[in-house]
Amino acid sequence: MSGLPQIIVSGILTGGIYGLLAMGLSLQYGVARVLNIAHGEFVMLGALLTYTLYTGWGINPLVVAAIIGPLLFGLGFLLQITLFRGLKARAPVPAAFEGNALLAAFGVLYIISYIGLIRWGGVPRTAYYLNYVVEFAGMSFRLNRIVAFAVSIAIGVAIYLFLTRSRLGRAIRATAEDPATAGLMGVNTNILLALCFGLGALLAGIAGSLTAMMTAVASGIGFGNTVIALIVVVLGGLGSVPGSFIAGIIIGIVASLVASLWQPILVVPVYYGILLVLLLARPTGLLGKK
């Protein structure tokens, strides 16, 4: 039986990846208004591509993450430019677009998850990397989890700085706030939305690569990851980068506590309990606006 500090720190480490996952979804929904329920499928794609490139070609998973990120960015960019932009052009009202986009994302979910199943089959694959135990202050962790956490936080900080400090980041926030006015101010909203969607896919892909380093992955992991990302986004508030990470870490700690002190099968029900209370008490999330 491991001690309480160990369980909590372990939850924080997991939470970093949850934050990364949620940040991607938050960008896609917060700016492009697409509730991308295929988000987890991008995680699956990232994870299994990492498996293939690492075990098949011997490329270092951290390098693989740097390859997969841009690859999935391209995929997300194309999806927004073709599918979602087309839907937006045809939708009579914004609410109709959100509904249709959700349903289209469904189709994408099916396409990616079954391509994954056809290519990799349903069996779990392992591509452990840096899988040795490190002792720290009386607690022991596997190194890959610490590295994954560090990478997640680094990317989170980078995205935060990008959104708050750069010109492009300001344009993105302006578009999230009011697309029409941002368009009038000379922002090319079409490209910008595609950029955000691509960025979301990139973050999901990297989260997948990091997941593949430390756990077994299979073509069916997408759905569970989407559920986690959605809950973290609701908890953290849409469009808030720090909110995503704080909520990710909270959910990570809760998951870790429930799984080790109670029953692993009850993790999802507990997530729902949290979501339920949250929707009743504070529907805009911890750090959300409005």
Count of chain residues binding another protein (CB under 8 A) = 46
Q: For residue 86, state whether it binds another protein (rule: CB under 8 A).
A: yes
d(CA 207, CA 23): 11
Can residue 286 be called a binding residue for another protein (CB under 8 A)? Answer: no
Quick count: other Cβ atoms within 10 Å of Cβ 276?
Answer: 10
Rounded to a whole number of angstroms, the minimum distance from the CB of residue 193 to another protein is 17
Stretch that binds another protein, among 90-98, 130-138, 193-201, 203-211 (CB under 8 A): 90-98
* Least distance CB 83 / another protein (angstroms): 6
Can you tell me the distance from the alpha carbon of 34 to that of 29, in angstroms, rounded to the nearest whole number? 5
Annotate 242-283 with DSSP letters as a single string. Answer: HHHHHHHHHHHHHHHHHHHHS-GGGHHHHHHHHHHHHHHH-T
Backbone torsions φ then ψ of 135, nearest 5 degrees: -90, 135
What is the CB neighbour count within 10 angstroms for residue 134? Answer: 13
Task: Give whichever of 108 and 249 is closer to another protein, judged by the CB atom.
Answer: 108
Selected binder of another protein within 55, 81, 99, 141 (CB under 8 A): 99
User: Could you give the C-alpha distances from 263 to 69, 73, 165, 247, 268, in angstroms and in order?
Assistant: 34, 37, 44, 22, 10
The enclosing H or E element of 100 equals helix 94-120
Q: Please, which of residues 43-62 interact with another protein by CB under 8 A?
A: none
Of positions 7, 201, 230, 235, contacts another protein by CB under 8 A: 230
- A 10 A CB-CB count for 98 gives 17
Q: Collapsing DSSP states into helix, strand and coil, what is residue 217? A: strand
Q: Judged by CB under 8 A, does residue 136 bind another protein?
A: no
Residue type, 102: L
What is the per-residue binding string for another protein in 187-226, x denoting contact by CB under 8 A?
Answer: ------------------------------------xx-x
* Burial zone of 100 (CB within 10 Å; 0-12 exposed, 13-18 middle, 19+ buried): middle
Which is closer to another protein, CB of 141 or CB of 223?
223
Considering the complex, state which of residue 67 and residue 275 has its C-beta at the smaller distance from another protein: 275
Query: Of 66, 114, 164, 166, which one interacts with another protein (CB under 8 A)?
Result: 114
Which residues in 257-276 contact another protein (CB under 8 A)?
Answer: 263, 265-266, 268-269, 271-272, 275-276
In Å, the largest CA–CA distance within the chain is 60
The residues of the shown chain that bind another protein, judged by CB under 8 A, are: 29, 35, 37, 83, 86-87, 90, 93, 95-96, 98-100, 102-104, 106-112, 114-115, 117-118, 223-224, 226-227, 230-231, 234, 263, 265-266, 268-269, 271-272, 275-276, 279-280, 283
